[in-house]
Amino acid sequence: MATHSHSNIHSAAVSSNSLKNFLLLSAALTTGALAGYVGMAYLRVSAWEALLKDTWIIQGVLVAAIVALIYKLQSDIAGLAGLTSLQRIQLDEMVTVKSRRLWALFFAVALSALLPRLASAIADQTSQSRLLFAATALQVTSALLCGRLPGMWQELRRFTTALIAEKERKARQQAELDRLAKAAQKG
């Protein structure tokens, strides 16, 4: 019974997180597209391109944060021993999903850095504008999504802390049962 209710709670939390993630992604993409539109409508192509190229330091910081979090996720779960197979599966699923999202974010940041450089090699101003629009949209979207990185790490930490607490509680229960069994054998 407890496992069933835990499963329902887990399902409800996953559904709530999915909706929240969808809304956050939609808002970030919309903001990115709006920034791209503003750049296209109000900036000269050369100034826009220069502005995007000058954001390399921000992109470097974002990429470093993303890669650091990927390795932190992997190292945090590597040290967890004694989990049940169900707990290990849940943890592996969570880390796999988060790692995929982080790698997608990594590639979005990298692509947003590459697109302005590609645009400078193209003579057609319409094609340049389209590439710069895409670069701006990706930069703004990925920067906004990187604001979620600490929350992703905290979510995983809460989950692993709960798993560790559950493991310790079960160990205490087993120790108490063993103590009672020994007392019953003596008495």
Q: pLDDT averaged over consecutive 10-residue blocks of the chain (187 residues)?
A: 49 71 90 92 89 87 86 75 78 85 90 91 90 93 88 82 84 91 85
CA distance 134 to 136: 5
- 134, two tokens: 């895409």
pLDDT at 157: 82
pLDDT at 1: 45
Residue 55's Cβ-count burial label (10 Å; 0-12, 13-18, 19+) is middle
| Chain CA centroid to CA 174, Å | 36
pLDDT at 11: 56
Look-up of token digits 């990298």: 110
| Chain CA centroid to CA 138, Å | 16
- 185, two tokens: 């054998």
pLDDT at 173: 92
**3-state secondary structure at position 43:** coil
pLDDT at 171: 86
pLDDT at 5: 46
Helix (H) or strand (E) holding 82, with range, is: none
pLDDT at 12: 55
pLDDT at 20: 87
Q: Give the type of residue at 101.
A: R
DSSP-derived letter for residue 79 is: T
Q: How many CA atoms lie within 13 A of 102 on its CB side?
A: 25
Domain layout of the chain by residue ranges: 2-186
Q: Give the length of the chain.
A: 187
